[in-house]
């Protein structure tokens, strides 16, 4: 009889142990499938960029366009950006269509088309954020990759939904969170460096508003500790360059 009781007692212990192990496994599985929130990752990246007093980056962008309603064309450009807050910015774009440079220093803005050897200048507000807004709103001049240059991106372009988290992947040797957002008009996919420096390493935008989905993809390499010489952001017009007037929109 005692042997039977001991056997039953052992079976109960084994059953309890098995239940405990299963419960722990279930908890572990739930923890593993509790993915990060995509919108929180993107906002964190925006805030990090806005907190940097200076940085440089090189970017390669590819953009789709429609050729005579027949087929897609792809255009590639290289972009170099040097930024020092609050009022110094230099952007150089070279590639298939554009070959131009943009300078902001204090309250001066200069833009030059290297192919045509034309340049123009304007007075702008004294901070990069205000200058970029002024140029777009009054002159419809949009700085390349302007969505990376503002201090308050988390408020300007904050995602409206939680988005989707696809896991981690390698981009240019960096472990990155891979996230995405979608609505009726477009898709946004972003690769953000994991860790203490949540830099946007790559992003892709798919425009779904037309007959054909058009994609724009940008790959970025950052330098968050650049060295700028004293006259680095100063614009000097090349010899024989022709100065032209920059007209505000609706002025004609």
For the cut 60, the answer to whether the pLDDT of residue 32 exceeds it is no
Q: What is the pLDDT of residues 63-81, one digit of tens each?
A: 999 988 889 999 999 999 9
Question: C-alpha distances in angstroms, 205 versus 31, 43, 83, 183, 192?
Answer: 31, 17, 24, 12, 15
For the cut 80, the answer to whether the pLDDT of residue 134 exceeds it is yes
CA 61 – CA 77 distance, rounded (Å): 5
What DSSP string runs through 51-79? H-SEEEEEEEEEEEEEETTTEEEEEEEEE
Residue 83: Cβ-neighbour burial (10 angstroms; 0-12, 13-18, 19+): buried
Question: C-alpha distances in angstroms, 183 versus 22, 110, 163, 202, 214?
Answer: 40, 37, 10, 20, 15
For the cut 50, the answer to whether the pLDDT of residue 30 exceeds it is no
Phi, psi (rounded to 5 degrees) for 32? -65, -30
- SS3 state at 95: strand
- Give the CATH number of domain 38-243; options: 1.20.950.20, 3.40.50.300, 2.50.20.10, 3.40.50.720: 2.50.20.10
CA 85 – CA 47 distance, rounded (Å): 15
For the cut 50, the answer to whether the pLDDT of residue 40 exceeds it is yes
pLDDT at 252: 60
pLDDT at 68: 87
pLDDT at 69: 83
- SS3 state at 164: strand
Per the CB < 8 A criterion, the answer to whether 161 and 181 are in contact is yes
Which stretches does DSSP call E strand in 68-193? 71-84, 88-95, 99-105, 108-113, 118-123, 164-171, 174-182, 186-193
For the cut 70, the answer to whether the pLDDT of residue 1 exceeds it is no
For the cut 60, the answer to whether the pLDDT of residue 243 exceeds it is yes
- SS3 state at 19: helix
Per the CB < 8 A criterion, the answer to whether 190 and 220 are in contact is no
36 Cβ contact partners less than 8 Å away, ≥ 6 residues apart: 165, 177
State which H helix or E strand residue 4 sits in. Answer: helix 2-32
Name the residue with higher pLDDT: 22 or 94: 94
Q: What is the pLDDT of residues 189-225, one digit of tens each?
A: 999 999 999 999 999 999 998 888 999 999 999 999 9
The sign of the dihedral angle between the CA atoms of 155, 168, 190, 199 is positive
Q: What is the pLDDT of residues 151-180, one digit of tens each?
A: 999 999 888 778 999 999 999 999 999 999
CA 62 – CA 216 distance, rounded (Å): 6
If pLDDT is split at 50, 70 and 90, which confidence band does 14 have? Answer: very low
pLDDT at 33: 56
Q: What is the pLDDT of residues 70-127, one digit of tens each?
A: 899 999 999 999 999 999 999 999 999 999 999 999 999 999 999 999 999 999 999 9
Name the residue with higher pLDDT: 248 or 82: 82
């Amino acid at each position: 009889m005692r042997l039977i009781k001991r056997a039953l007692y052992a079976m109960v212990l084994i059953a309890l142990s098995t239940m405990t192990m299963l419960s722990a496994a279930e908890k572990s599985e739930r923890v593993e499938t509790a993915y990060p929130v995509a919108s929180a990752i993107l906002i964190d990246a925006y805030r990090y960029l806005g907190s940097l007093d200076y940085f440089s980056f090189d970017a390669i962008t590819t953009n789709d366009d429609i050729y005579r309603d027949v087929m897609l064309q792809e255009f590639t450009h290289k972009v170099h950006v040097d930024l020092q807050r609050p009022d110094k910015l230099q952007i150089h774009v070279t590639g298939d269509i554009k070959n131009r440079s943009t300078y902001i220093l204090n309250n001066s803005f200069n833009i030059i088309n290297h192919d045509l050897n034309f340049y123009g200048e304007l007075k702008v507000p004294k901070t990069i954020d205000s200058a970029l807004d002024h140029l777009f709103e009054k002159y419809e001049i949009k700085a390349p990759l302007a969505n990376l240059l503002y201090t308050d991106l988390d408020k300007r372009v904050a995602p409206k939904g939680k988005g989707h988290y696809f896991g981690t992947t390698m981009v240019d040797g960096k472990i990155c969170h891979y996230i995405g957002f979608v609505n009726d008009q477009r898709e946004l996919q972003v690769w953000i460096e994991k860790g203490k420096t949540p830099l946007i390493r790559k992003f892709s935008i798919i425009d779904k508003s037309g007959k054909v989905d058009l994609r724009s993809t940008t790959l970025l390499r950052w330098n968050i500790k650049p060295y700028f010489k004293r006259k680095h952001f100063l614009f000097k017009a090349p010899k024989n360059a022709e100065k032209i007037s920059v007209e505000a929109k609706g002025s004609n």
